[in-house]
Structure 1
Amino acid sequence: MIPVEDLVARVLAYNPCSDTARLHAAYAYARQAHEGQFRRSGEAYFVHPVAVSALLAEQKLDDATLITALLHDTVEDTTATRDDIVRLFGAEIADLVDGVTKLTNFQLNSTETKQAENFRKLFVAMSKDLRVILVKLFDRLHNMRTIKSLPSEKQVKKARETMDIYAPLAGRMGMQWMRDELEDLSFQVLNPDARRSVLRRMARLRGTAVDEVERIRYDISHEMTNEGIPATVYGRAKRPYSIWRKMGQRDSEETFNRLSDIFGFRVITETRMDCYHALGAIHRRWRAVPGRFKDYISEPKVNGYRSLHTTLLGRDGKRVEVQIRTREMHEVAERGVAAHWSYKDGEPMENPYSVDPGAWVSGLAEYFEAGTDVADFFETVKLEMYADKVFCFTPKGEVIKLPKGATPLDFAFAIHTRIGLACVGARVDGSRVPLWTRLRNGQSVEIITAEGQSPQATWIDIAVTGKAKSAIRRALREAQRDRFIKLGRELVRGAFANVDKKATEKTLMTAARSLGLGSDHEELLSRLGSGEISARAVVTAVYPELAEAEGELVEMRRAVLGLEEGQSWVRGTCCQPVPGERIVGITQPGTGVMVHAIDCPRLADYEDQMDRWIDLHWQPGRHSAAFGVSLEITMSNDAGVLGRVCTLIGEQKANISNVEFCDRKPDFYRAMLEVEVSTVEHLHRVMTALEADTNVAEVRRTRESADGG
């Protein structure tokens, strides 16, 4: 654990005016609050918030951000309250801690509708103060660096969430180094074999390339010296995931044999003019690869990134990738929006190349508040986070930024929704082109409009941007709204009648709210009539218990497929498999077949007895039996918490067959609950309901290990 003196010394090195008394107070308060709590690795829990604060100190962040990092889990995981934080550290810190706590509670890898709503909440929270997401990103970085102590199931869940959400978000915030590291840490969990393959190839190529890398670095440095350009040149190894992704884009692993596959070179200059001077010198000395030059200085990325990118044919015709930028551009490229709150000698650092860190987030928040529905908002955010940009021009020379692969339709809607809706054609660089044409950087686009034009259904497949797709869908719905509402009303009446229920206006309003449409039941009917929402989804939105009631009732004796005639089966107590999980059987002499989950550690005992293995599957349908599973729940030691946990389980139509208390502390306790569920989906619903409760710190399904522990 980093001592408070070391943490304070790191801060004073870049901010001599730091309020060290507040840092000491926050450190002591958080340490006491987390007393007696431990991480999965066995180390004291307080190690984590201190490590997050130290990582932020490396980025030279302000005192408020560092104090938030120290306190970010206190309200969530200890008896501390928001009022306590306000009283001791002020409203600003309390707001930041509250924002981080809310982000922690968002289940970003749940179902798409819920994920989209939580994504909206995330961006609304970020728009209030972007330091919230900075703390959360560094919190995730430290958790990913120490992920090996988690169970394998949880590792995969966290890694996928990191790869899908946090890594792209870090990149969109301008912190490319963090995106690279988060992707590589996730890659190590999600595809360890592929990563090992890349590392082996890297080691093989690196062994023969060390001298060559140094020669290229020397050649570029020598060229800078000859031209009188003050510059620093260095080579850097790429991350395994970055290499793997590039190999996938080429659709061949055999192409992993070039120096540029694992190394890149950077030239750091003093001025913007030096960048172009250096580029000219390099292009005079080496031949440039056509189509591989990008000028992000004259057209910076939206996150503020500026650099010249070029690929050269170096010694022996080998490709060499080079980036050229100033020191100030390099600062923004390395640290992204974190640079906005950086301090030097007690004053905020001024960087002429940094951009407003909240502009993009605020724009998205405003876009949602303008009436865009949850699914469209989610689509827009994903496109904004993942897409590269192309820059095109209007006939008047205005620059329009679009994602890679955008079409003239996207261009039209980017100018104005009214122009997009009236679009009948486009000219690109003076020539008439189809609306599905993919635009390229630097092209001039003229949109042709006509009165009375209305969007076509095929436009949905042509458009790329969320804004265009959303506007097209809205226009199509409005054009046929009356017909769709009438059809939707008939569909929903029949669907509810099939389950002996009535589709009243109040019922439909409840369904609309559940599906993220506010209380607009006519919008629900319109989408139902247009086929965007199924009648079954509407029914189960109001009566979720009916989702399980569908399908044939499966009796216990025929719940498993793949057994021989007359062969009996029993469920393994070691792994407690439930319908929906992959299973195998191990024949037991005289007792039938023992059914195990495919990932049960006990199966290792039978690796040399493959003749006893049987491929089994669960019978599809609704199972009549209840299957017991063991859940370990860590919850706060407050009055009424256990009762609420039992109520939550009951609300999910699950039964508790046994409760055993394992560990009781002043602030929390652990309990083992035997819960009876029907399917793995049912189990997930129970666990999700428990995890959502603010007084439940952790819910974990427990299984017997290979050694019986």
Structure 2
Amino acid sequence: MIAEVTVDGLSKELSTYLDTARINQVRRAYYYAEQAHQGQTRRSGEPYVTHPLAVAHILAGLKLDHQSLMAAMLHDVIEDTGIPKDALEEQFGEAVAELVDGVSKLTQIEFRTRAEAQAENFQKMALAMSRDIRVILVKLADRLHNMRTLGHMPYAKRLRIATETLDIYAPIANRLGMHAIRTELEDLSFSAIHPMRSRFISKAVSKLRGSHQEIIAEIRSKLEEKLAERGLPGRIFGREKHLNSIYKKMKLKQKSFHEIMDVYAFRIITDSEDDCYRILGAVHSLYKPLPGRFKDYIAMPKANGYQSLHTTLFGMHVNIEIQIRTEEMEHIANNGIAAHWLYKNDQPDVSSVNQKRVDRWVKGLMEMRERADDSLEFITHVKEDLFPDEVYVFTPRGKIMELPRGATPVDFAYAIHTDIGNACVACRINRNLASLSQPLQSGQTVEIITAPGARPSAAWLGFVVTGKATSSIRHALKHQKRTESCELGRTLLNRSLKQLGYTYADLGEQQIAAVLKHNQMTSLDDLLSDIGLGNRMAYLVARQLVSGVGGEGDEHPVALKSDSADKDVITIQGTEGLLVRFASCCKPIPGDAVVGVMDSGNGMVIHSDTCPRLPNIDKHAERVTHLTWAKDITDEFAVELRVELERQRGAIAEIAKAVAFAEGNIARINVEEQNARMGVVSLEVHVQGRKHLARVMRRVKHVRAVTHISRVRY
């Protein structure tokens, strides 16, 4: 049960840091709200004014200024009672009216999930924060009280509010350094979304805490003794692990409950920075520190202003996590940006380090607000800070796309639409052409360039990270392989029919149906696909179609080495797709005499016609297809060169320069063997054909140190 808050109880709490005049202004705002909400009740049946009073009480715990507390009292007045902003301004001043108006506008924003939170809505929130950061503090306190009293809501609404809190408001609290509010929001959301898991973990924690009480007490006692021995001031607290944090570690790190809870956590609060480092030395002398587990957030504070020393020790057969910080750092760790409004003797007292971060962040928001024409950049800055585990990028039209960290432009393309991903050929990041495999950063604007007839590459599977991209690419490749195998099969079958003196037009449906039945195929496409994959020989299928099923007779004898074979050669365009690939043994390039060899299940492999790895054409004529190159091929092909040279300083650089001068591209360079005078260099160069290769070799041969150059064929 949450203790009932009264205005007198609140006034008493405020008297610890506010003067009487300001407390009376807060009380006046309460009575105004009470009258405005007269007759309104919450779902629990309580008078509605109990909610704004509870919100003000939360802010009082953060020691916020009187204007924030007044805004908390009045935050629902504009929206729920019809009282205009002007009336509030007349009664309580412009600053309070602006705060109330800002909170009212935030209340109207409905974030369903992070992915659906659109730029316009988030811009409203960021604008409200940039005008006065106290707006978001009041909103966070409002959300915290709503989460505490969520039980009276219908289940669907509870789920929506809890999800929204976990996705939007808890990260904002974290970015503002408000640890206490963030952890409570996370735990309350977790309990609402996963009530049974929450109860189970809560019971397990309570049970474990009881059984570990002796170890905790002994560790604390030894720490206290060590500090007393060194004369160091410090208060030692056990640090509780939060339910949502335990659940996230179990889920994401695949750790058991006992693995997570076997770490004992303590917090030591001391007087000064100097004492922090002295205490660090003391605890390291007591227990052995674990390597790589020390973090100095005092010298290098987190982005939200958090400062502390973190170390993990091994002692008592367990790991001991210790955080060491000053009283001021402790206050900032729990209250974050809210510490800005802590009043002592009417003067703000806050860490100068944290103050600078607060001012810089708010100033950044203000500067971005002034560039209102580029609202997307404005929002990105905020979102990047709030959700560091995700990447938020924009489409050219300004829609926010949420992707996992490490996502690439290909993931982005598939996130927009599968057809966009399949047709993707290039991308622009922030208007500059970029690699499709480049990991995206939050705030970038990504434009996908598509081309009709473009197809996904199997290489994409090596760098995409989203499930949608992976499954879509695999599906497209499977479909592409089927299409290509059908096309290649049709080409090969048509060529074999021509050699037999027939065309498709000469074949009857009955002939085709009989051959399909004989080969146990359900459709002609299946048969053509099998031919294209190399599982069936086109010549044999052509003979079946012409001679009758199973016909092995000599009505139409054919020798593939005859003149007819040369008249029906297949033209190679360059990069042919999934089912036509170039042999790695002889590395054929345009201009070389080439033949295609059917490889069962994998399509056609193109070899140089002098390659020693070719099957015997006389014995395996049905597997070999004569090919010719198309004109004007612009694709690049890999060629291996062997360069013998005298060992001279800078010789390798001269060779690379010569290749570049001949417009070649070096893919790999390797010094194979050397002696005192001579060396042999192996080069893999990308060229467009034999003429281009000759130009490259001529340039390399002119390098003074080179004694011999040759192409490695097999």
Q: Which residue of 2 aligns with 1:462?
A: 439
Partner of residue 141, structure 2: 138
Alpha-carbon contact 1:74-1:80 (below 8 Å) kept: yes
Q: Which residue identity does 1:188 align to in structure 2?
A: S
Aligned to 2:166: 163
TM-score by length of 2: 0.54
Q: Is the 8 A contact 1:12 1:18 kept in 2?
A: no
Structure 1, 245-254 or 108-117: larger mean CA deviation: 108-117
Q: Secondary structure at the match of 2:47?
A: coil
Who is 2:289 aligned against?
A: 288
TM superposition shift of 1:303: 1.3
Residue aligned with 1:174, SS: coil
**Would the aligned equivalents of 2:276 and 2:326 in 1 still touch at CA under 8 Å?**
yes
Question: How far has the Cα of 1:111 moved from its partner?
Answer: 8.7
Contact 2:237 2:266 in 1 (8 A): yes
Q: Does the CA-based 8 Å contact 2:166-2:189 persist in structure 1?
A: yes
Match of 1:382 in 2: 383
Helix, strand or coil at the partner of 1:14: coil
**How far apart in 2 are the matches of 1:303 and 1:257?**
26
> Which deviations, in whole Å up to 9, do the C-alpha atoms of 1:252-301 show, x marking residues without a partner?
325446432xx520111111111111111111221112221111011101
Structure 1 residue identity aligned to 2:221:
Y
Shift of 1:144: 0.2
1: distance between equivalents of 2:21 and 2:221? 42
CA distance in 2, matches of 1:47, 1:379: 37
Q: State the match for 1:24 in structure 2.
A: 27
Aligned to 2:292, what secondary structure does the other structure show? coil
Per-residue deviation at 1:161? Answer: 0.3
- Choose from 219, 223, 242 the match for 1:220: 223
One-letter amino acid matched to 1:29? Y
Mapping 1:168-567, distance limit 5 Å: 168-253=171-256, 255-256=258-259, 258-260=261-263, 263-316=264-317, 318-356=318-356, 357-364=358-365, 366-367=367-368, 370=371, 380-387=381-388, 455-458=433-436, 461-466=438-443, 469-470=444-445, 473=446
User: 1:110 Cα deviation (Å)?
Assistant: 6.4
Distance in 1 of aligned mates of 2:285 and 2:328: 26
Q: Residues of 2 paired with 1:112 and 1:69: CA distance?
A: 30
Cα distance in 2 for residues equivalent to 1:405 and 1:222: 46
CA distance in 1, matches of 2:100, 2:337: 19
Q: Report if the CA contact (8 A) 1:113-1:374 is conserved.
A: no
Structure with the greater alpha carbon radius of gyration:
2
1:2 equivalent in alignment to 2:20: no
**1:83 is aligned with what amino acid?**
D
1:460-495 CA distance string (max 9 Å, x none): x413332xx33xx3xx67xx7xx99xx9xxxxxxxx
Aligned letter for 2:145?
A: H
Q: Who is 2:499 aligned against?
A: none
Q: Which residue of 1 aligns with 2:679?
A: none
C-alpha displacement of 1:112: 4.7
CA distance in 2, matches of 1:113, 1:241: 23
Could you give the per-residue CA deviations for residues 54-107 of structure 1, whole angstroms, max 9, x where no partner exists?
Answer: 111111111101100000100110031111101111111111100000000111
Aligned partner letter, 1:306: Q
Gaps of 5+ in 1: 390-403, 410-452, 488-709
Asked whether the equivalents of residues 268 and 325 of structure 2 are also in contact (C-alpha less than 8 Å), the reply is yes
Residue-by-residue CA offset, 1:99-145 (whole Å, 9 max, x unaligned):
00000011122695663210111001110000000000000000000
Q: Which secondary structure does the structure 2 equivalent of 1:233 belong to?
A: strand
Give the counterpart letter for 2:168 in structure 1: I
The 3 A distance-change label for structure 1 pair 354 and 252 is closer
One-letter amino acid of the structure 2 residue matched with residue 335 of structure 1: N
Deviation sequence 1:485-539 (CA, Å, 0-9, x none) = xx9xxxxxxxxxxxxxxxxxxxxxxxxxxxxxxxxxxxxxxxxxxxxxxxxxxxx
Matches within 5 A, 1:566-645: none
Match of 1:78 among 64, 67, 81: 81
1:76 match: secondary structure: helix
Q: Structure 1 residues 31, 275: closer, same or farther in 2, change over 3 A?
A: same
Question: Deviation digits for residues 629-680 of structure 1, max 9, x if unmatched?
Answer: xxxxxxxxxxxxxxxxxxxxxxxxxxxxxxxxxxxxxxxxxxxxxxxxxxxx
Question: In structure 1, what is the Cα distance between the partners aligned to 2:117 and 2:254?
Answer: 34
Q: CA deviation at 1:388?
A: 7.7
Distance in 2 between the 1:33 and 1:388 partners?
Answer: 43
| 8 Å CA contact 1:4, 1:27 repeated in 2 | yes
Matched-pair contact (CA < 8 Å) for 1:107–1:115:
no
Amino acid at match of 1:322: I
Deviation at 1:17, TM superposition (A): 5.2
| Equivalences for residues 104-115 of structure 1 within 5 A | 104-109=107-112, 112=115, 115=118
- Distance verdict in 2 for CA 1:279–1:110, change over 3 Å: closer
Alpha-carbon separation, structure 2, partners of 1:275 and 1:20: 37
Gaps of 5+ in 2: 391-403, 410-430, 453-714
Give the TM-score normalised by structure 1: 0.55
Q: CA deviation at 1:376?
A: 6.5
* CA contact 2:113–2:163 (8 Å) conserved in 1: no
Give distance in 2, aligned partners of 1:114 and 1:198.
Answer: 31
Distance verdict in 2 for CA 1:193–1:183, change over 3 Å: same
In structure 1, C-alpha distance between the alignment counterparts of 2:229 and 2:308, rounded to whole Å: 22
Distance 1:159 1:298 in 2: 36
**1:113 and 1:365, CA in 2 relative to 1: closer, same or farther beyond 3 A?**
farther
Q: Secondary structure at the match of 1:164?
A: helix
Counterpart of 2:152 in structure 1 is: 149
1:69 aligns to 2:72 (yes or no)? yes
Aligned residue-pair number: 415
RMSD over aligned Cα, in angstroms? 3.0
Cα offset, 1:358, TM superposition: 4.6
What SS class does the counterpart of residue 46 from structure 2 fall into? coil
CA distance in 2, matches of 1:163, 1:129: 23
SS of structure 2 residue aligned to 1:354? helix
Percent identity among equivalent residues?
41
Distance 2:306 2:315 in 1: 26
For residues 238 and 81 of structure 1, the distance between their equivalents in structure 2, rounded to whole angstroms, comes to: 45
